[in-house]
């Protein structure tokens, strides 16, 4: 492929990525994150799931039947990079059109988020996982494979469940696997930490009774999506407001009800 043609495809790929990353209309976070509380709750190695509002996010949420369309890893104070406002970058993520980059937590303050925490990692294993991510900052994905991106410009037709995950890992996979959770999955696989492994049963010995032995088979990293960290039995869901201790008796409630909570005029407001 000539240099001129390669450059043209790269520019076209970046233009498509910019369009797919444009915000969708009508997005409103139901429970937006509180930055201070989020900072206090997160630990290095945590996976931060994000309900994205971009056009590409809508396709991912549909294909995975999930609220979550994006995942980033919290790496703590490992990064020297700071935002223009002076806030340190503490997240490492892979973005369509950018590749592997760092970001401040405030980037997702107006999004619905969820914290998924691996359980039982030693300090050395946790460091290995976060080092895996930071070592890949600057990693670029090949946007010349623009036909993978073109799929997301068309209305998403009804897709059988068994095909949806495969659509996210279609073709050469670099652009589409970047928007899944492939790099984070590889980081955990580097220390053999399970996410959603295949579990198969085998017999103990010939002539003996059947015994259940769970053998964990690591899935290919390209098959992981953001929701897998939410569904995984090996990740603990952290609620930032509950982490330091929560007493609902301390909440202050207004005595007046908002207008939209009142029943329509002419009704008793009681169930029939």
pLDDT tens sequence across 246-270: 778 887 887 766 655 556 665 554 5
> With contact defined as beta carbons under 8 Å apart, do 94 and 50 qualify?
no
Whole-structure pTM value:
0.71
Stretch among 55-59, 113-117, 144-148, 180-184 having the lowest mean pLDDT:
144-148
How far is Cα 208 from Cα 69, in angstroms, rounded to an integer?
A: 47
Write down all domains in the chain, each with its CATH number in brackets: 3-245 (3.90.1720.10)
CA dihedral 96→53→188→239, nearest 10 degrees, is 160
Distance CA 253, CA 147 (A): 53
Using only C-alpha atoms, what is the Rg of the chain? 22
Q: Which of 48-62, 86-100, 107-121 is least confident? A: 48-62
């Amino acid at each position: 492929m000539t240099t001129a043609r390669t450059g043209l495809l790269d520019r076209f790929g970046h233009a498509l990525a910019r369009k797919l990353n444009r915000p969708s209309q009508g997005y409103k976070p139901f429970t937006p994150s509180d930055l201070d509380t989020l900072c206090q709750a997160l630990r290095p190695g945590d996976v931060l799931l994000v309900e994205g509002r971009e056009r590409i996010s809508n396709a991912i949420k549909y294909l995975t039947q999930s609220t979550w369309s994006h995942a980033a890893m919290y790496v703590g104070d490992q990064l020297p990079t700071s935002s223009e406002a002076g806030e340190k970058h503490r997240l490492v993520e892979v973005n369509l059109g950018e590749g592997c980059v760092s970001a401040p937590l405030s980037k997702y303050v107006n999004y619905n988020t969820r914290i998924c925490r691996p359980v039982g990692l030693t300090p050395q294993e946790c460091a290995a996982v976060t080092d895996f991510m930071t070592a890949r900052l600057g990693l670029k994905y090949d946007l010349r494979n623009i036909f993978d991106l073109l799929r997301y410009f068309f209305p998403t037709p009804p897709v059988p469940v068994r095909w949806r995950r495969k659509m996210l890992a279609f073709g050469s996979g670099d652009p589409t696997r970047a928007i899944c959770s492939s790099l984070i999955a590889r980081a955990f696989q580097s220390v053999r930490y399970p996410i959603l492994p295949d579990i198969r049963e085998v017999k103990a010995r010939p002539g003996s009774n059947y015994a259940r032995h769970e053998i964990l088979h690591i899935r290919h990293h390209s098959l992981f999506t953001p929701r897998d960290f939410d569904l995984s039995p090996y990740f603990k869901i952290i609620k930032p407001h509950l982490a330091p201790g929560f007493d609902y008796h301390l909440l202050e409630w207004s005595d007046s009800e908002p207008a939209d909570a009142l029943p329509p005029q002419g009704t008793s407001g009681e169930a029939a």
